[in-house]
Structure 1
């Protein structure tokens, strides 16, 4: 019997990366034009080295296994 939830975003690494991206690019920011937003997105992905330490701890596959017995 599979007890895992049908969708678990915290277990999906791309969801974690997406959440990190939104935190850095979207939250609390306003872009006057789409071009500025697009540039911010491009800059984020181009500067991935700047986020190396944050992403290293965020994008890990070490999970605690919880016994459901």
Structure 2
């Protein structure tokens, strides 16, 4: 069954527009600055969680104490 050339051209144009839209969305998602900002926000939120924050402080204090002890021994 042969299709009308105008219909084929419209289908091709719609496919091009859909592809262009998809490529624009991928470009926005793959933007390095946006990815870095998202990662920074995620790490900041994780480090502000008390279940993570206080044990890290404790480990830091322990390492500091061990270093001071080793230096003055």
Q: Which structure has the bigger radius of gyration?
A: 2
Pairwise same-fold verdict (TM > 0.5): no
Task: Name the TM-score, length of structure 1 as normaliser.
Answer: 0.34
Which structure shows the bigger proportion of residues in helix conformation?
2
